[in-house]
Amino acid sequence: MTPTREEFYNALIERHGADNQKKFDSATVAICGLGGLGSNIAICLARAGVGKLILIDFDKVDVSNLHRQQYKADQVGRPKPDALSDNLNEINPYITIETHNTKVTEENVIELTKEADIVCEAFDKAENKAMLVNAILENAPEKYLVSSSGMAGFGSANLIKTKKISKRFFLSGDSVSDVNDGIGLISSRVMVCAAHEAHMALRIIMGEATV
């Protein structure tokens, strides 16, 4: 049986503390890209009870995604924002989810993320990561930005770290493991990086914007 909203939040308060939970509940986080990073970030934040998630991706669930992304076999072919929204609602029915089935561009990124306190960059391609980071830092300097670079392959998970680049800009990953070097993306290592991004987002919401 699904717990009531009150039961759900009492359980979260027990684990996070009432002050933190209040902050999580009133926060809005935009997740740009809903692949191995974004789908895992979203699940962490939904479980923590972050009040509103803005999910953005143009892509559909593919069979090749299932080894590391938080989708199910029967969701192949569905738009990722819709499929992920369903999965998040099953985990936490009491958060607000806004979905955008669209490609993030320099032109629309500021409008898409305008309500977010924190933007999580969770793209696959290096050029798209750079585009988003430049766009947010240049045009929305009041927002916190959590980005990532380098999580491919079977290298040690301990090499993945979060660095504070500047006051509101954080970068998770090992900085070097490029999927284009033919080393593939492994669920566990991508999840470590996603968890770094999600954890940084929670710390920022708590008021602990340090690494």
Partner 1 sequence: MVKINGEEYQYENKQLTAVLEELNYDKTRIAVEINEEIVPKVCYDATILKDGDTVEVVSFVGGG
Footprint of partner 1 (CB under 8 A): 33, 35-38, 122-127, 129-130, 133-134, 137-138, 141, 147-152, 165-167, 169, 171, 175-180, 185, 190
- Nearest distance, CB of residue 39 and partner 1, angstroms: 10
Between β-strands 161-166 and 169-173, what pairing exists: parallel, antiparallel or unpaired?
A: antiparallel
Cα gap 80→83, rounded to integer Å: 5
66 vs 179 by CB, closer to partner 1: 179
Distance from CA of residue 180 to its chain's centroid?
A: 22
23 vs 196 by CB, closer to partner 1: 196
CA angle 29, 111, 42 (to 5 degrees): 25
- Side-chain-side CA neighbours of residue 178 (13 Å): 7
3 vs 184 by CB, closer to partner 1: 184
52 vs 129 by CB, closer to partner 1: 129
Cα gap 180→85, rounded to integer Å: 30
Give the position of tokens 């491919």: 152
- Nearest distance, CB of residue 7 and partner 1, angstroms: 35
- Nearest distance, CB of residue 180 and partner 1, angstroms: 5
- Nearest distance, CB of residue 54 and partner 1, angstroms: 17
